Structure 1
Amino acid sequence: MNLDFERIIPSIPYILEGIPTTLQVVVVAAIIGFVLGIVLSILKISKIKPLNWLADFYTSIFRGTPLVLQLMLIYFGSPQMLGIQIEAYEAAFLAFGLNSAAYISEIIRGGILAVDKGQREAALALGVSESSMMLNIILPQAIKNILPALMNELISLTKESAVVTIIGLADIMRRAYIVGGQTFKFFEPILVAGLIYYVMIMILTLFGKLLERRMRRSD
């Protein structure tokens, strides 16, 4: 197969230095996506139709177009549309966060609708306000039920973060490309990058399973 990992081994620490960049994008985007996703899910189940339409329109835009397109529009289109250059990190946070919110909102909406309606009726009968009921009763149960789906979204977000290489962020994949250009061996560093992503995903998967078990024991 003509593989030569000996030339790549000295560069592995350099590729590993891209992990913090990848994690930073994933964590910030996940927070943005989760918070905005909750807001969108509430709008989707609102009795006010224009709010339903607004949330559905948002979701259709971000689910109906490629993530890489959204990232490029925000980063490369900002000078022309806004007259300013959005920094690469900020563009990544926005693109991934806004995109993730569209998917998370559907997950949370499904979780909210799956909660027994009797609890909602009981809370209203006891005089609990709509906002308090949603925050303290409905959402905690919904999130517990949809935890596996949320972990899947986080895993997808971690893998998709590799596209930030197109805007120059020195993540894992970008560094693998650079090593490939320096050594004229592209397959080996990309394989190393793939192994790093695989280990990260396995750690996330294990964490998700442990969290899910702990939440089940707390029932």
Structure 2
Amino acid sequence: MDFGQWFVPFGEVAPLILKGFWITIEVTIVGLFFGFILGAIAGLARLSRNKIIYSIATVYVEVVRGTPILLQIFFVYFGLAALLNITFGALTAAFIALAFNSGAYIAEIVRGAVFSIEKGQMEAGRSIGLTHTQAMRYVIWPQAIKRMIPPLGNQFIISLKDSSLFSVIALGEIVYKGQQYIATTYNYGQTYITIAVAYLIITIPLSLILRQIERRLDVS
């Protein structure tokens, strides 16, 4: 075997993977940003005593968590166009699908974090004259956010890996760029190794950073 030739495909596919790398990061960050907003609203709605608000949030969470993200991608990209004549580009569809998908899981993270705070904390806040909203803002939320950090970090990693599924709608992320190279060279082995390394370059440092944050905040 000519080992020199064996390494050639790595150098050829790496620039393509790098282009997809930045799109993957963009989709993950933007999707999770809106996913967190949606998840925070849905999570608090899941704590509401209003049955209508609670029911709407619960339906959203259960439907999204109960269906594959691949189906959700197809629905946003193809289904909305067929049903409502609403069309999105691949990048916009990726933002929407990832936001709605991650939002459902973040909603449960938010709900669980807030629910885990002892009831006495709210009562203590109310006893010093705070309204319910003020007590949530100044007493409950700071503690809840601290407890959200580990699962939110895990959700970021999960969503980042899920972004590979956007290759099915021809979004130029890491996997799609690799598939383009394979289509012209039929070089599977080195291409998939390069793709795996690209994901590891993101996820391993992120995992280490999250551990450091957890230690500094003493998240148990």
The two structures share one fold, judged by TM-score above 0.5: yes
Q: Distance in 2 between matches of 1:81 and 1:136?
A: 44
Q: Give deviations 1:15-58, integer Å, cap 9, x for gaps.
A: 11111100011001111111111111111111112211111111
Unpaired stretches in structure 1, ≥5 consecutive residues: none
- Of all paired residues, the percent bearing the same amino acid is 33
Q: Which residue of 1 aligns with 2:184?
A: 182
Query: Is this contact kept in 2: 1:68–1:163, CA < 8 A?
Result: yes
Q: Distance in 1 between matches of 2:173 and 2:42?
A: 30
Q: Which one of the candidate residues 122, 139, 142 is aligned to 2:141? A: 139
Q: Which residue of 1 aligns with 2:153?
A: 151
Q: Which one of the candidate residues 112, 115, 121 is aligned to 1:113? A: 115
Q: Which residue of 2 aligns with 1:103?
A: 105
Query: Is this contact kept in 2: 1:18–1:175, CA < 8 A?
Result: yes
Comparing 122-131 with 158-167, which one deviates more in the overlay?
Answer: 122-131
TM-aligned CA deviation for residue 136 of structure 1: 2.2
Q: Which one of the candidate residues 24, 28, 38 is aligned to 2:30? A: 28
Q: Distance in 2 between matches of 1:82 and 1:203?
A: 42
Q: Which one of the candidate residues 50, 55, 58 is aligned to 1:56? A: 58
Q: Distance in 1 between matches of 2:120 and 2:34?
A: 31
Give the letter for the 2:73 counterpart. L
Q: Give deviations 1:73-130, integer Å, cap 9, x for gaps.
A: 1001222222232111111111111110111111111111111211100111222122
Listed as ranges, the matches of 1:120-131 within 5 Å are 120-131=122-133
Q: Which residue of 1 aligns with 2:20?
A: 18
Give the letter for the 1:115 counterpart. I
Q: Distance in 2 between matches of 1:175 and 1:83?
A: 29
TM-aligned CA deviation for residue 213 of structure 1: 2.2
Give the letter for the 1:173 counterpart. V
Give the letter for the 1:19 counterpart. F
Q: Which residue of 2 aligns with 1:171?
A: 173
Comparing 160-169 with 46-55, which one deviates more in the overlay?
Answer: 46-55
Q: Which residue of 2 aligns with 1:65?
A: 67
Q: Which residue of 2 aligns with 1:40?
A: 42
Give the letter for the 2:57 counterpart. A
Equivalenced residue count is 217
Q: Distance in 1 between matches of 2:2 and 2:218?
A: 50
- Structure 2 vs 1, CA of residues 110 and 192 (structure 1 numbering), >3 Å: closer, same or farther? same
Q: Distance in 1 between matches of 2:75 and 2:2?
A: 40
Query: Is this contact kept in 1: 2:113–2:145, CA < 8 A?
Result: yes
Secondary structure, counterpart of 1:18 in structure 2: helix
Q: Distance in 1 between matches of 2:14 and 2:197?
A: 11
Query: Is this contact kept in 2: 1:8–1:183, CA < 8 A?
Result: no
Comparing 76-85 with 143-152, which one deviates more in the overlay?
Answer: 76-85
Q: Distance in 1 between matches of 2:16 and 2:146?
A: 39
**Alignment pair present for 1:5 and 2:3:** no
Comparing 6-15 with 160-169, which one deviates more in the overlay?
Answer: 6-15
Unpaired stretches in structure 2, ≥5 consecutive residues: none
Query: Is this contact kept in 1: 2:19–2:174, CA < 8 A?
Result: yes
